Structure 1
Amino acid sequence: MDDARAAVRHKAPMIRSLLVFCGSRSGHDPAHAALAEALGTLLATHGVTLVYGGGGVGLMGVMARAALGAGGRVVGVIPQSLMTVEIAQPGLAELHVTETLHARKALMHMHADAILALPGSIGTLDELFESMTWRELGIHDKPIWLMGDNGYWAPLLALMRHLTAEGFAPAHLDRLAVPLPDLAALAALLPPRNRTPSTGNS
């Protein structure tokens, strides 16, 4: 309940685009790919543009193809160096190719009204922590959410509480990124269903 109230407090006035960080692998637990697929479909049905890393592999590809298959609008941002590693997803409304990872993260943020992290590896954590740092420093005030089945983010939340307990972080550190229990909780923060998917720039 506290997490749900926190999510509402961090709700943007209107979420037209959602930046999603997630893995370029699918992981061992099939629940993660199922969640990514359901998320892509959910965003399309709510008319919310999916902004992500542009890849066609792992959870990234599963999510993007689900959004495209449901008629959604998808914007990808990928560094030139990862074009053959993450294999850029075809058929996107926009695919921006950047020179560096830093430029990728900055451009993804520019296109998004809110941020969600699904399961992933150190690349996902890098993107998430930079977003949290920017929010803590006042560079942006976009809501940041976490979602993952079977307690995926529990160790990270415990680590953030540990940082605070050890005196290295403020008491609100673990509230910079709010865990959402499921897609229904996210849907409550999005525009109503059955909107026509966005066709303009995010």
Structure 2
Amino acid sequence: MRRGREPGTWPTVQRRALLAALLPLAAAAHPGELRLRILREGSPIGLHRVIFNEADGVLSARTEVDIQVKLMGITVFRFQHRFTEVWADGRLRDATSRRDRNGTVTEMVARADANGIQVQGPEGALRLPANAAPLSWWDVRRFDGRPLFANDTGKPMRLRFSHAALADGGARWSVTGEEESEGRYAADGRWVAWKTKAEDGSTVTYERIG
């Protein structure tokens, strides 16, 4: 997998300065719906959608992931994920997740209160900091150093981010640690592509289609 600058070599102050420059652009870039085609080794296997709704300062983003891998016409892998997050005043208000992996269902609920974020999921009851956020690649502002948690289990994640500027004015952000992947963003902060390695070692990519 291609990566930018090695983890830990992009100073935090520079990273935050870059993100500060992207904030108004990313905030203005939310379409009504974001759609990305999912490919495994170049072959289409599914669709990733994010549906946005913003009113009275509250932003709701519902992520829908549907994947089906077939071999000789037989489905050998099926994955469905429904994840909704609600934001207000720059803070996560609540999040709900339902993941179905080959018939095994995992659910998670996160709720903000006065002291932090309470999570109930497969890891049991967890208390996270008030500024914690789910790892959602559609929002480049998540990479500002705040605590991140898995959007399907609620488990806190140990991640390291690195950044590389692209010739078209966009940026590529890579993450290592508990997740190994990278996202590509246009100059205005829009999420346009993603790449990771599947458990079987195959390359999975996302391509923006709407």
TM-score normalized with structure 2 length: 0.31
Higher relative contact order (CA 8 A, sep 6+): 1
- Choose between structure 1 and 2: higher helix proportion: 1
Structure with greater Cα Rg: 2
| TM-score of the superposed pair, with normalisation by structure 1 | 0.32
